[in-house]
Every structure is written in structure tokens, then in C-alpha cells.
Amino acid sequence: MITFPNAKINLGLNIVEKRPDGYHNLETVFYPVPLEDALEVNILHEGNEKFRLHQAGLEIEGEVENNLVVKAYKLLDEKFNLPPVDIHLFKHIPSGAGLGGGSSDAAYMLKLLNEKFNLALTDETLEEYAAKLGADCAFFIRNAPTYAEGIGNVFSPISLSLKGYQIVLVKPDIFVSTWEAFAQIKPHRQEMPLKEIVKRPVEKWKEWMMNDFEESVFPQFPAIREIKEDLYKQGAIYASMTGSGSSVFGLFEPSAILPSNTFGEKTFIYRGILK
């Protein structure tokens, strides 16, 4: 069985308060982006391991045991004693980029195992499992534009469609630690609630829709700020860093001619159309 975990961007990202457990409550809108990994799982008929992981495409640091698709398998295996599996993961989504790549792989692994082994788990149950794997994972279970609060796993519906808009995603060769980015943040409530901002035309978002991480990440990595400024210069109607970085996205009108520049070597660029 094969599935294609997609990335996400954050439309607005407001860190509102620090929680007693050390995490932060935030407000954001998650929006899926059709930049995808590939994940294939088959039953392992030989050897005596519970799983094998074959990985290709972009490099991921860390041990196999810490790969989020393995963590997702183990989470369900503990409860359902699953058959041994042979996992093939092709990474196309840059890791540690604010695009939720690892989180998406984990959520899609849960959905794939649920279907493959007829576990009959509901979306709500899958979201609970996903939240154990990372703050960003639960979104990918339903994978539809949604307003998120809490640590990023308390959802409420929004009527927002960017279907047909073009997106340019630029990930410079810079690693931003999510943990460090949160540690440097000063939680505060935005003047205008994000739920109100997203109701306005996209052309109006620039003055109101903020990613709070930019304030601390841009001074450390001016190159990330420059990418955002370049995207505006080249006609983006809205541009922002996503997640805790380092990726920056620009939204362009459906009819716009997208910029073709490379933003420097070792930079990952994706151009696509939102659904």
C-alpha cells in the first residue's frame, strides 16, 4: 500500500502563552501544500524483525528508531500487535523546515496502517494518536485547511479556500531549531484575531497576518528575511516564514508569472498550485 504525505504551511502563527508543561499555546491556520513524500508499507515475510525501513531522497538525521514513521508503527503495534512491515520512505519534503514533513509522514503512517490492517480507528482516535507523535501531526489526519489552537491540535473549522493560487516555497540551507525558536519567543495576543484576518481578502493579509517567530529568527538569519522581501518584490500578494522556519512561502495570483530565480545555491524551491 502506498500513500503520499504532503507538507503544510502556517497562515499566521501567534504564540499566545507558555503552558505549565513547557509547551506553548498558539493560534494558527494550517493549510495543506501538495509537496509530497512517498510512503509504501508491505507485510514483511522474511527475517524476525518487526519492521524494516528503507529511506531514499532527502537525508534525515537521526536513528531509524527515531524516524516518525517507525514511531507511528510502534504506537499502533503496542496496542494491536501488528504484522511485521517493510517500509519504504522517499523524502521530498525538506526536514526541519517548518513544513511539517516528519509530522505528515507520521500521520499518514497511522492512516495507512489503520486502513491496511482494518483497525477501524476514527479520525478523532487517529488525531489522539498523532498528537502523541508531535504538535503538528494531528492536522494531517483530516488534512484540510483548519484553524488550530492549543499546542496545535485543537481544531475549529474555517471557510478558507486558496484553490488555484500559486505558491512558491523557498527553503534556504539554514536549520532553525523549533525548540530554540520557541525558547526565544515572547508570547502575546495579536491585536486582531487570526480568525478575523483570514476572512479578509488575501491582498489585505500583509498588514495583519504575522508569524511571531519572524521577530527572533530574522535577526539571527537575515537571509530568511531577504527571501520574504524578494518574494514580495517579485509579485507575491502575501509572503511569510512558515512554522518556526526556515522555509518562506509566497502566494501568487492564479494568473501570475512565477519568479524563476534560484535564491542562491543549496536552496530548495517548490512551485505549485494550492488545492
Ligand X SMILES: Nc1ncnc2c1ncn2[C@@H]1O[C@H](COP(=O)(O)OP(=O)(O)OP(=O)(O)O)[C@@H](O)[C@H]1O
Ligand Y SMILES: C[C@](O)(CO)[C@H](O)COP(=O)(O)OP(=O)(O)OC[C@H]1O[C@@H](n2ccc(N)nc2=O)[C@H](O)[C@@H]1O
Q: Which of 105, 136, 212, 230 is catalytic?
A: 136
Most distant CA pair in the chain: distance in Å? 59
Task: Decide if residue 145 touches ligand X (CB under 6 A).
Answer: no
Binding segment for ligand X (CB under 6 A), chosen from 61-69, 138-146, 190-198, 254-262, is 61-69
Q: What are phi and psi of 198, to 5 degrees?
A: -70, -15
User: Which of ligand Y, ligand X, none is residue 250 near (CB under 5 to 8 Å by kind)?
Assistant: none
**3-class DSSP assignment, residue 224:** helix
DSSP symbol at 62: S
Task: Decide if residue 146 touches ligand X (CB under 6 A).
Answer: no
- Whether 149 contacts 25, CB under 8 Å: yes
Q: Within a 13 Å sphere around the CA of 16, how many CA atoms are in the beta-carbon half?
A: 16
Residues near ligand X (CB under 6 A), total:
22
CB of 265 to ligand Y, least distance (A): 26
From 15, 29, 99, 121, residue interacting with ligand X (rule: CB under 6 A):
99
Burial class of residue 262 (count of CB atoms within 10 Å of its CB; 0-12, 13-18, 19+): exposed
* Known binding-site residue numbers for ATP: 94-104
Q: Which residues contact 272 (CB under 8 A, 6 or more apart)?
A: 33, 34, 35, 166, 167, 169
DSSP H helical segments within 189-269, as ranges? 194-197, 214-220, 222-233
Task: Decide if residue 126 touches ligand X (CB under 6 A).
Answer: no
- Nearer Cβ to ligand Y (62/254): 62
Instruction: Assess whether 186 carries a catalytic annotation.
Output: no
CB of 245 to ligand X, least distance (A): 8
- Nearer Cβ to ligand Y (85/91): 91
Instruction: Assess whether 8 carries a catalytic annotation.
Output: yes
From 42, 125, 178, 234, residue interacting with ligand X (rule: CB under 6 A):
178
Laid out side by side, the sheet with 51-57 consists of 2-3, 38-43, 85-91, 51-57
User: Which of ligand Y, ligand X, none is residue 92 near (CB under 5 to 8 Å by kind)?
Assistant: none
Q: Which residues contact 79 (CB under 8 A, 6 or more apart)?
A: none
The binding site for ligand Y (CB under 6 A) comprises 10, 13, 23-24, 26, 28, 98, 103, 134-136, 151-152, 178-179, 182, 243-244
* Positions marked active-site: 8, 136
Q: Which residues bind ligand X (CB under 6 A)?
A: 60-62, 66-69, 91, 95-103, 105, 136, 178, 243-244
